[in-house]
């Protein structure tokens, strides 16, 4: 078996290592119907671990989608934790609310904000959050990163989905705007002395940084 084949086999094994329950699978089906592309199983499991490891009680999510990532975040958060999730599409948030209800999540544990993250994030409190997860329009990732650094407490974590962007970020010949934005974001977080960063090859790539 070639090294390339072995790597792909291992990556596929890792992606399916943690199974998904019926509630998450149903949320994925709603996402498909709405045209959303949620985080993959391994990325979702990573978010759950990050939420648990940070003892997260206050989490911000940029890009509610149909609730797949929110289910993972809520599963890892403290029992009294509150997820604030932002999306411009009300239909997406209705689907997410349905998923949270199916999972038995109390209504007081999440706050759905319908609106532009660029307008909502600046209204949130400084250093009041344990974890920020971003899976939204790629062109605004740099702006969301700046806001995340303001929102996070010391020791808090920010994570960006699609950080490898369909294998384009690793290829210097790829220069489309979204790829360049994601490539530049990775470098900026890596070189920021306020952060400790890692690029995880799960799903379409998960860029994670902890605030010192």
Which of 203, 211, 212, 182 is CA-nearest to residue 47? 203
* Per-residue pLDDT at 7: 84
* Cα distance between residue 28 and residue 25, in whole Å: 5
Walk across the sheet containing 58-62 and list its strands. 110-114, 82-87, 58-62, 129-134, 152-161, 206-211, 195-200
Instruction: Give the pLDDT band (50/70/90) at residue 2.
Output: low
Instruction: Give the pLDDT band (50/70/90) at residue 203.
Output: very high
Render pLDDT for 7-42 as a digit per residue (tens, 0 to 9): 888 889 998 999 999 999 999 999 999 999 999 999
CATH number at residue 76: 3.40.50.150
Render pLDDT for 70-116 as a digit per residue (tens, 0 to 9): 999 999 999 999 999 999 999 999 999 999 999 999 999 999 999 99
Quick check: helix, strand or coil at residue 200?
A: strand
| Count of the separate structural domains present in the chain | 1
* Cα distance between residue 61 and residue 87, in whole Å: 9
Range of the domain at 133: 3-211
């Amino acid at each position: 078996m070639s090294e390339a084949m072995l790597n792909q086999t291992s990556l596929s094994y890792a992606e399916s290592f943690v199974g998904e329950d019926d509630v998450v699978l149903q949320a994925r089906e709603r996402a498909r119907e709405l045209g959303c592309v949620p985080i993959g199983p391994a990325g979702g499991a990573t978010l759950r671990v990050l939420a648990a490891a940070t003892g997260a009680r206050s989490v911000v999510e940029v890009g509610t989608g149909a609730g797949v990532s929110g289910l993972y975040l809520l599963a890892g958060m403290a029992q009294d934790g509150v997820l604030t999730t932002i999306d411009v599409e009300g239909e997406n948030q209705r689907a997410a609310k349905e998923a949270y209800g199916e999972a038995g999540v109390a209504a007081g544990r999440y706050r759905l904000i319908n609106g532009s993250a660029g307008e909502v994030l600046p209204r949130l409190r400084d250093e009041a959050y344990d974890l920020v997860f971003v899976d939204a329009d790629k062109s605004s990732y740099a702006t969301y990163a700046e806001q995340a650094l303001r929102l996070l407490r010391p020791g808090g974590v920010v994570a960006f989905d699609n950080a490898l962007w369909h294998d384009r970020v690793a290829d210097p010949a790829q220069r489309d705007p979204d790829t360049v934005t994601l490539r530049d974001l990775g470098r900026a977080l890596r070189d920021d002395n306020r952060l400790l960063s890692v690029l995880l090859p799960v799903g379409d790539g998960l860029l994670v940084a902890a605030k010192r």
